[in-house]
């Protein structure tokens, strides 16, 4: 297993970086382009392992997708021209591929099977399988199709009104995609705001989606049309550098061209509430997505409470915010975040275990974390448990530790941020 030893820094982080393309938007862009008629060009596509899984899935459906570095050219021939896949589809480690593609596989008139790695095979799939079955999907698998591997019979779906019971953009998106392939109208009623990239991007591919408050409606039978798109920088990747600069004395960093969608920018709010000197200015729109530069400098931080609706807005950033909280004055509380327990690993346990190994004082709760700060970190070993966000949290912790930090299984970082270490060394 690959590991790396990182030594503490002797000076602050300085410079200007541009993080890779947004993971959520990259997945969606290749799905929509592959279902489209015509040739789509996607630039700044995230070449992390997860998004490449989604590309591979559509190649299995016979879609010709060319890739040169972070540019994809997708030669769509329309939904009716997709071919039945002859091999099982491999979703790897990617929850987004698994959930969104379940909506697609359920509604295409083909038999398909799909599997994932050990981590993904433990993550709940009933959250998409159950509402898809209510639309007429035939899906089978272990424990009433609650886990991968899954088999999709490919049936005619009927539109339906779904009342969401969890806050999940993956489930919402799976149902909207199934709705696109279904007969009639599908409505998803959210029980809290989650990232809205699917609803924002589908119209760019010529698909009509109507939004009234928390209700999203999509009419089945629409044929998406090719589009051109530049993917904004990923705020979830930027979060590691924002936090690094906020907790490392004498730092000042600028991160350019980051997606600042208000359903995703909770990490900026959280760092601001902690007292970080942080400025995010949108300077342009890519489609309906605001994009801007973020400037952040070292500050003395204070503890905060994160709960309620803000949680979905920063769910993937909680590990790195927890590291910031170890350096903040007072007790930081993270509540309403039990979703963290069903990510690539149980992130409640993984964050607490690893930060405590380094000398922090972190307690676990069923739905979150309690972090007592500030505590100096003394170095040691961080076990990523194969989870990219835990690996990157450990790497950023090394900057302010008094002794080296070893990251076990560092290669998992390639899942969402293949050039993470290049960027880190660039700003040191
Ligand atoms: O829709 C998406 O692209 C994502 C939604 C979130 O998951 P949930 O829908 O499970 O909250 C997030 O954690 C994941 O990294 C990406
Ligand atoms: C949870 C994540 O991704 P996914 O659900 O796509 O595996 C993540 O990127 O932090």
At residue 218, the pLDDT reads 98
The number of the ligand nearest the C-alpha atom of 128 reads 1
Shared-domain flag, residues 184 and 281:
no
Shared-domain flag, residues 336 and 221:
no
> Could you report the average pLDDT of every consecutive run of 10 residues in the chain (428 residues)?
87 96 98 98 98 98 98 98 97 98 97 98 98 98 97 96 97 98 98 97 98 98 98 98 98 98 98 98 94 98 98 98 98 98 98 98 98 97 98 97 96 98 96
Nearest-angstrom CA–CA distance, 227 and 229? 7
Q: Which of 211, 230, 249 represents a domain boundary (last residue)?
A: 230
Number of domains in the chain: 2
Shared-domain flag, residues 327 and 407:
yes
Shared-domain flag, residues 334 and 304:
yes
At residue 227, the pLDDT reads 98
Q: How far is the CA of 215 from the centre of ligand 2 (A)?
A: 25
At residue 308, the pLDDT reads 97
The number of the ligand nearest the C-alpha atom of 127 reads 1
Shared-domain flag, residues 219 and 98:
yes
Cβ atoms of 137 and 178 within 8 Å: the answer is: yes
The best mutation among 28, 119, 127, 170 to test binding of ligand 1, ranked by most ligand atoms within 8 Å of the C-beta, falls on 170
**Angle made by CA atoms 245, 391, 359, in degrees to the nearest 5:** 70
Shared-domain flag, residues 310 and 215:
no
- Catalytically active residues are 316
Return the ligand 2 atom nearest residue 97 CA. Answer: 6
Ramachandran bin of 178, using left for φ above 0, alpha for ψ from -120 to 50, beta for the remaining angles: alpha
State whether the beta carbon of 343 lies less than 6 angstroms from ligand 2. yes
Q: How far is the CA of 180 from the centre of ligand 2 (A)?
A: 24
Q: Which of 198, 230, 262 represents a domain boundary (last residue)?
A: 230
At residue 10, the pLDDT reads 81
Nearest-angstrom CA–CA distance, 317 and 321? 6
At residue 170, the pLDDT reads 98
Shared-domain flag, residues 223 and 237:
no
At residue 8, the pLDDT reads 85
Q: Which of 230, 261, 281 represents a domain boundary (last residue)?
A: 230
Shared-domain flag, residues 179 and 259:
no
Nearest-angstrom CA–CA distance, 17 and 289? 20
At residue 53, the pLDDT reads 98
Residue among 185, 190, 182, 174 nearest 131 (CA)? 174
Q: How far is the CA of 170 from the centre of ligand 1 (A)?
A: 5
As for ligand 1, residues whose beta carbon falls within 6 Å of it are: 24, 96, 168-170, 173, 195, 315-316, 339
State whether the beta carbon of 316 lies less than 6 angstroms from ligand 2. yes
Return the ligand 1 atom nearest residue 100 CA. Answer: 1
Closest CA to ligand 2's atom 10: 316
CATH number for the domain that contains residue 324: 3.65.10.10
Shared-domain flag, residues 161 and 303:
no
At residue 7, the pLDDT reads 85
Shared-domain flag, residues 226 and 346:
no
At residue 211, the pLDDT reads 98
Closest CA to ligand 1's atom 10: 168
Q: What are phi and psi of 75, to 5 degrees?
A: -95, 85
At residue 253, the pLDDT reads 98
Shared-domain flag, residues 203 and 262:
no
Domain that holds residue 81: 23-230
Nearest-angstrom CA–CA distance, 102 and 36? 18
The number of the ligand nearest the C-alpha atom of 171 reads 1
Shared-domain flag, residues 208 and 240:
no
- Sequence-distant (≥ 6) Cβ neighbours of residue 425 within 8 angstroms: none
At residue 234, the pLDDT reads 98
Return the ligand 1 atom nearest residue 343 CA. Answer: 13
């Amino acid at each position: 297993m690959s590991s790396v030893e990182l030594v503490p820094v002797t000076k602050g982080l300085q410079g200007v970086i541009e993080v890779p393309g947004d993971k959520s938007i990259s997945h969606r862009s290749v799905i929509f382009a592959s279902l489209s008629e015509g040739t789509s060009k996607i630039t700044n596509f995230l070449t992390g392992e997860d998004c490449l899984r989604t590309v591979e899935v559509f190649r299995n459906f016979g879609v010709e997708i060319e890739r040169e570095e972070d540019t994809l050219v997708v030669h769509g021939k329309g939904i009716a021209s997709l071919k039945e896949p002859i091999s099982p589809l491999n979703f790897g480690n990617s929850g987004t591929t698994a959930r969104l593609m379940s909506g697609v596989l359920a509604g295409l008139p083909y038999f398909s099977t799909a599997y994932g790695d050990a981590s993904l095979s433990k993550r709940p799939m009933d959250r998409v399988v159950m509402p898809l079955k209510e639309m007429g999907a035939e899906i089978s698998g272990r424990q009433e199709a609650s886990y991968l591997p899954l088999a999709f019979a490919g049936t005619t779906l009927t539109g339906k009104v779904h009342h969401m019971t969890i806050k999940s953009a993956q489930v919402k998106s799976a149902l909207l995609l199934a709705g696109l392939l279904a007969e009639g109208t599908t409505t998803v009623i959210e029980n809290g705001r989650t990232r809205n990239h699917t609803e924002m991007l589908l119209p760019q591919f010529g698909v009509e989606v109507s939004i009234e408050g928390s209700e999203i409606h999509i009419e089945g039978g629409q044929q998406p049309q090719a589009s051109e798109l530049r993917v904004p920088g990923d705020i979830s990747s930027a979060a590691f550098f924002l936090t690094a600069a906020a907790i490392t004395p004498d730092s000042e960093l600028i991160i350019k061209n980051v997606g600042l969608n208000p359903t995703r920018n909770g990490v900026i709010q959280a760092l601001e509430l902690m007292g970080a000197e942080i400025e995010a200015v949108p300077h342009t729109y890519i489609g309906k997505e605001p994009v801007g530069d973020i400037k952040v400098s070292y500050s003395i931080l204070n503890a905060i409470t994160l709960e309620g609706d803000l949680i979905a807005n920063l769910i993937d950033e909680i590990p790195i915010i927890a590291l910031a909280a170890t350096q903040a004055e007072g007790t930081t509380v993270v509540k309403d975040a039990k979703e963290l327990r069903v990510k690539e690993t149980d992130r409640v346990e993984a964050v607490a275990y690893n930060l405590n190994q380094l000398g922090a004082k972190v307690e676990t709760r069923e739905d979150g974390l309690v972090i007592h700060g500030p505590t100096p970190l003394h170095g040691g070993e961080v076990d990523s448990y194969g989870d990219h966000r835990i690996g990157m949290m450990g790497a950023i912790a090394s900057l302010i530790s008094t002794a080296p930090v070893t990251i076990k299984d560092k290669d998992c970082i390639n899942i969402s941020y293949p050039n993470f270490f290049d960027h880190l060394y660039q700003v040191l």
